[in-house]
Amino acid sequence: MRLKTSVIVALLVGLSASCSNQTTTSPTTSLTTAAATGPTAESFSSVLGIRGATSHAFNVTTAGTITATLTSVGPPALTVGLGLGITGAGPPCSLATSINASLGSSTQVVGSVDPGRYCVQVFDLGTVTDPLAFVVTIQHP
């Protein structure tokens, strides 16, 4: 697990240097958390602007697996970027992994992590023509 974490950290350092030209929006964000035995489930909802990126940070207290699924986006066929990464006390969200995602019910992004501060980010791939409401469901230990 430590080797995997070292590899993720090395990737994040390289990726953070190449992500300095991102445009970040400051939309209103709502978050709900359902605490139960087992993984914590969070729903992160916000609005994505044209050429924008919106992220949400969260703490992981136990080593395990993070998953993220784009559970709502309008229009449903629109494809946006969805990624997981690490963050410090504030922005930016330095992505370790990302995919092109559209509305889905199965997990779209997965990462193994140690305790720490992580983030999920939704970003425009050049497909957003009007502000876009979305919901991402995150599960983590």
pLDDT band at residue 29 under the 50/70/90 scheme: very low
Digit-coded pLDDT (tens) for 119-135: 999 999 999 999 999 99
pLDDT at 26: 42
Q: What average pLDDT does the structure give for the chain?
A: 76
- Domain boundaries defined on the chain: 2-140
The residues near 6 (Cβ < 8 Å, ≥ 6 apart) are none
Q: Nearest Cα to 100, choosing from 112, 113, 110, 109?
A: 109
Chain centre to alpha carbon of residue 56:
7
pLDDT at 48: 93
Q: Between β-strands 116-123 and 30-34, what pairing exists: parallel, antiparallel or unpaired?
A: unpaired
Q: What topology is assigned to 2-140 in CATH?
A: Jelly Rolls (2.60.120)
Average pLDDT over residues 78-84: 92
Enter the pTM of the model. Answer: 0.70
Tokens of 76: 């449903």
pLDDT at 81: 94
The string of DSSP letters for 65-117 reads EEEEEEEEESSTT--EEEEEEE--SSS--EEEEEEEE-S-SS--EEEEE-SEE
pLDDT at 71: 85
Cα torsion at 96, 124, 55, 82 (round to 10°)?
-50
pLDDT at 32: 43
